[in-house]
């Protein structure tokens, strides 16, 4: 998962959007108040009051705070009134909470479009192999990507609109994750610890030798792996997170498809030596085009090279890692 960034002002704006009634739209708080007026079991009323009192934290709390709320609900017995662990289904009250938070209508709303544009993730945060696009906010437009729930809404419906529980992703990754329970100490959360910080794709240099013997036929001989960064080697917690990530999203299987990309990059690395890089920059300067070293590297690589831009295009992290490993682009200091 590539790290996702959002500033506090946008988080506050999200809360106002979700919790403001307008026209036919009723805020979560208003729907809770309406529910309080209807006959219900006393225990359910206590849970409703708890949700109402913690609503801002539920909608805008950090991943760590959301996990704390889950544990608090479990310790107080509230979770048992919401989810039946025997049948693995929401209780009647849990279904009511799902209706109150109403993720389905949110998903098709202008609020979801606003969130998509605010996050500005143009590739899947989970696999980084597919585009996740947002259309304009014209009437009838919808998000062209999924929002996965790190803490599944099928178990925790009161977290279905929590901003730090909504992970932009492609349909394949959403289906792979499905309703599996993730925990912060064992799974990567893209708002906390991105894949780029803990793992790096590394090439098998011998496989490149075999490829160059006959580039037309030996493309499939190229081998590479996503490995833990050296500074985290031996850190069992981080190693577990990376292993779980690779398993849950079938990373090794997905990235086997891109050997042709590596083949092209390796051939480029043979061409773009220091002299040709200088020639390329001089060409642009002579054409009165001001081009930075970073843009030169992006031009050569065919993708973004800055760590802050890895969600702007599919395969950005993969190509950056491999590009550095085969000296196509300079390594980050």
In 3-42, which positions are buried (b, 16+ CB within 10 angstroms) versus exposed (e)? bbeeeeeebeebbebbbeeeeebebbbebbeebeeeeeee
Helix (H) or strand (E) holding 74: helix 63-75
More confident residue, 23 or 196: 196
CB 69 within 8 A of CB 61: yes
pLDDT at residue number 34: 85
pLDDT at residue number 97: 95
Mean pLDDT is lowest, of 19-23, 83-87, 285-289, for 19-23
- What is the gyration radius of the CA atoms in the chain, in angstroms? 24
Return the percent helix, strand and coil in the chain, to nearest 5.
55, 10, 35
pLDDT digits (tens, 9 = 90+) for 19-59: 988 766 788 998 988 887 775 677 789 999 999 999 999 99
Helices (H), 170-308: 171-177, 195-198, 205-213, 236-248, 251-255, 259-271, 274-286, 293-301
For residue 124, pLDDT beyond 80: yes
Gap between the Cα atoms of 160 and 148, Å rounded: 10
Q: How confident is the model at residue 185 (pLDDT cuts 50, 70, 90)?
A: very high
Gap between the Cα atoms of 269 and 279, Å rounded: 15
Nearest to 268 by CA among 331, 326, 204: 326
Gap between the Cα atoms of 169 and 186, Å rounded: 20
Counting residues of the chain whose pLDDT is more than 90, the rounded percentage is: 74
More confident residue, 22 or 126: 126
In total, the chain counts a number of residues equal to 333
Gap between the Cα atoms of 100 and 82, Å rounded: 13
Do strands 83-84 and 89-90 pair parallel, antiparallel, or not at all (unpaired)? antiparallel
Beta strands in 160-230 (DSSP E): 166-169, 199-203, 224-228
176: Cβ contacts below 8 Å, ≥ 6 apart: 126, 248, 249, 250
Phi, psi of 185, deg, nearest 5: -85, -5
CB-CB neighbours of 250 under 10 Å: 14
**Considering the chain, what is the average pLDDT of its residues?**
91
**Domains of the chain by residue range:** 8-177, 195-325
Indicate the SS3 state at residue 163.
helix
Helix (H) or strand (E) holding 58: helix 55-60
pLDDT digits (tens, 9 = 90+) for 131-149: 987 665 555 566 667 899 9
CB 177 within 8 A of CB 248: yes
């Amino acid at each position: 998962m590539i790290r996702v960034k959002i500033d506090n002002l946008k988080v506050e704006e999200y809360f106002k959007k979700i919790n403001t009634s307008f026209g036919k739209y009723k805020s979560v708080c208003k729907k809770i108040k309406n529910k309080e007026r209807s006959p219900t079991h006393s225990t359910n009323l206590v849970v409703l009051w708890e949700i109402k009192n913690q609503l801002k934290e539920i909608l805008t709390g950090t991943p760590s705070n959301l996990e704390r709320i889950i544990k608090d609900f479990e310790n107080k017995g509230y979770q048992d009134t919401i989810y039946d662990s025997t049948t693995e289904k929401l209780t009647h009250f849990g279904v009511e909470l799902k209706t109150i938070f109403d993720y389905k209508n949110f998903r098709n709303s202008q609020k979801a479009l606003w969130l998509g544009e605010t996050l500005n993730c143009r590739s899947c945060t989970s696999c980084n192999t597919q585009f996740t696009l947002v259309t304009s906010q014209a009437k009838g437009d919808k998000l062209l990507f999924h929002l996965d729930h790190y803490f599944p809404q099928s178990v925790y419906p009161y977290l279905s609109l929590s901003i730090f529980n909504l992970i932009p992703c492609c349909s394949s990754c959403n289906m792979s994750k499905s309703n599996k329970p993730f925990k912060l100490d064992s799974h990567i959360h893209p708002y906390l610890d991105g894949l780029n910080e803990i793992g790096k794709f590394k090439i098998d240099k011998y496989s490149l030798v075999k490829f160059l013997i006959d580039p037309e036929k030996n493309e499939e001989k190229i081998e590479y792996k996503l490995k833990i960064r050296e500074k985290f080697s031996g850190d069992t917690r981080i190693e577990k997170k990376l292993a779980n990530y690779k398993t849950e999203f079938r990373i090794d299987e997905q990235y086997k498809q891109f050997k042709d990309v590596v083949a092209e990059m390796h051939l480029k690395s043979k061409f773009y030596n220091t002299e040709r890089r200088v020639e390329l920059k001089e060409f642009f300067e002579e054409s009165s085009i001001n081009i930075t070293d970073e843009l030169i590297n992006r031009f050569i690589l065919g993708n973004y090279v800055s760590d802050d831009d890895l969600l702007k295009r599919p395969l950005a992290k993969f190509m950056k890692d491999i590009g550095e490993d085969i000296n196509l682009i300079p390594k980050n200091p």
